[in-house]
Structure 1
C-alpha cells in the first residue's frame, strides 16, 4: 500500500528543522552583480587567454626586422646575370625546359654554382606562372622579401659606433634606382641608414639592389608608416632634421650643425618635399647651383649633401 510505512522507501524522512523557502535561501543569488565583464576580462574565458598569449608573444618577439610584402622574381637572361654579378640576394635560379644554351645562360649557371645557389629546371608553363607572364627567355631568379630595419635601429647603429647619427630620409621617392643610388651614397659617406615610407615610395627591389652596387648589404634600410611622425621622434631623440629644397633658407655650405646628430630629408623626384614634411624640418637647406634653372634628381642631391656633411664632420 502507498501509506505502508513498513515498505522500504515509502515514507521520506523529514530533515531536521524547518525547510527554508527559496526567498531566503537564494536571496543573495537573486541580487544584481553589476554588468557582465567582457569576455577578454574574464580569466576563465578563451578570449582572455588569447589576449594574454598575444601579449606574451609580442613581448618576446624581436621588433628589429620586418619583411617586405613578398618575394620578387627577376626574369630574362641579362637581368638574371646582372643580379648574380652584383651579389643581389637570390634564393634560386630557374631554367625552362628546352631553353637554348648560350653564353648568358652558361654564365648564369657558373655564377649560381659559385654562390651555391640551387638550380631547378621547370616547364615553360610553370615559369610563365611564376614570373607573372614576363618575358623570361627561359631564365628567372627568385629574390627573397627584403627585411627592413626598425627606424630606431639606425640610431642604435650610430651609438654602437660611437658616432653622431646621420640618417637619410626619403619623402615619396618612387624610382628604385634613385633609392639604390642613395643607399650607395649613404654607405660611401658614413650614413647609418636610410628611412623610407611604407606607401607611395620605392622599396628595395632588384633594381634598387643593383643600383646600390652591393651597398644595400652594408647599410640598413628602415620603413615607417608615418614619415612625419618618425621625423618628430628623431627630433625628440636629439636629432636635427634638415630638408633639401631649392628654396631653402640655408645654403648647404653654411650648415653649421652638420657635425651633430642629423637627419637629411630628400624629396620626391617631381614635387620635392611634401608640405607637412617641410614644416616638420628644423631647417630647409638648398644646394647652390650656378644656374637657377637647373635641378638635381633625388639621388644626385642626396650624394652632394652627404659629401658636404662628410667634409664638415672631418
Structure 2
C-alpha cells in the first residue's frame, strides 16, 4: 500500500515488491519494526543491501505515526515522489550534444528547504544537473518540491552511491572539480568555463575530507561581518551566479 501523499510505501507485500524493482532508486529510508520475525527481516536486509540502502530498526509506534495508523505490517519505505535521473545517461547526452555541462554536486545536504532553494538557484543560472548521495542527505521530497516552486521539474537530479567515486568518473570524462573551503581562492577569480562541477558541502561540516581531496581547486566567499558563515543555499546561489557570469560575460 501507499500513503495518501505518496511519500511512503508500506506493508510486507508492497514493500518487498518495491525493493525489488527499478523504482527502488526512489527510496530515501527503510524503516523496519524492531523485533520483527527474523525470516522477514533477513529478506528486507538482503534486498536493501543490493540497492545500497540502510535499514533503520524502529519501534512499532514510530511506524504507526508515519503511516497515520494504517496497517504497515512492520515495514515502511520513505520514498521520493519524483524520479531521479541516471547520471551516465546524462553525461552521454551532454557529450552527444557537445555541451560543456555545468554540474552541481551536493555533499550531504540534510535540510529539504535548502535543497529546494538550491534547485531554484540552479534553474535560474542554467545548471545542467545536480548530483546528491543516497545516504545521509535529503532526497526529493514533497517539501523539496514545494520549496523549489517548480524548479524540481526542470533540473535533473541524479542520486549516486559514492561521491568520491563519482568525482573520479567525472574527471575521467574531462570535468574540472571545484569545491568550497575557507582557505580557497576568492570566488570572484573563478573561471567556470569548460566541463565543470561545483561541490557544496554539508550545512555544518562542509565537504567531507575524502571528497575534498578530489578537488582541482577550492573557492571561498570573503566575509567582512562578524558571522563567518553563510546558509548553504545562499552560498550556493552566489557561486552559481559567478559561474553564470564567467560563462556568459557582459559584452
How high is the TM-score relative to the length of structure 2? Answer: 0.67
CA distance 1:172–1:70, change in 2 (3 Å) = closer
* CA deviation vs aligned residue, 1:137-190 (integer Å, no higher than 9, x gap): xxxxxx964221122234345345543110000111111111111111111101
Alignment RMSD, CA only? 2.5
Q: Report the Cα distance in structure 2 between the residues aligned to 1:202 and 1:169, rounded to whole angstroms.
A: 13
Counterpart for residue 27 of structure 2: 69
Taking the TM superposition and a 5 Å limit, the aligned residue runs for 1:241-260 are 241-248=177-184, 250-256=185-191, 258-260=192-194
Q: Report the Cα distance in structure 1 between the residues aligned to 2:168 and 2:219, rounded to whole angstroms.
A: 18
Q: Give 1:286's match in structure 2, choosing from 188, 209, 220.
A: 220
CA distance 1:224–1:70, change in 2 (3 Å) = closer
Structure number with higher relative contact order (C-alpha < 8 Å, ≥ 6 residues apart): 2
Decide which structure has the larger Cα Rg and report it.
Answer: 1
Q: What 5-or-longer segments of structure 2 have no aligned partner?
A: 1-21, 30-62, 70-78
Q: Report the Cα distance in structure 1 between the residues aligned to 2:110 and 2:204, rounded to whole angstroms.
A: 10
* CA deviation vs aligned residue, 1:201-242 (integer Å, no higher than 9, x gap): 110011111111111111110011000000111111100000
Please state how far the C-alpha of 1:290 moved relative to its aligned partner: 2.2
* CA deviation vs aligned residue, 1:45-73 (integer Å, no higher than 9, x gap): xxxxxxxxxxxxxxxxxx9x8641179xx
Q: Is the 8 A contact 1:66 1:150 kept in 2?
A: no
Q: Report the Cα distance in structure 2 between the residues aligned to 1:217 and 1:165, rounded to whole angstroms.
A: 18
Q: Is the 8 A contact 1:168 1:191 kept in 2?
A: yes
1:226 has 2:184 as partner: no
Counterpart for residue 209 of structure 1: 145
Q: Is the 8 A contact 2:80 2:139 kept in 1?
A: no
CA distance 1:292–1:157, change in 2 (3 Å) = farther
Please state how far the C-alpha of 1:194 moved relative to its aligned partner: 0.5
Taking the TM superposition and a 5 Å limit, the aligned residue runs for 1:28-67 are 67=25
Taking the TM superposition and a 5 Å limit, the aligned residue runs for 1:80-91 are none
CA distance 1:282–1:165, change in 2 (3 Å) = same
Counterpart for residue 229 of structure 2: 295
Q: Report the Cα distance in structure 1 between the residues aligned to 2:205 and 2:27, rounded to whole angstroms.
A: 27
Q: Alignment partner of 1:196: what SS?
A: strand
Q: Report the Cα distance in structure 2 between the residues aligned to 1:208 and 1:224, rounded to whole angstroms.
A: 18
How high is the TM-score relative to the length of structure 1? Answer: 0.54
Please state how far the C-alpha of 1:245 moved relative to its aligned partner: 1.7
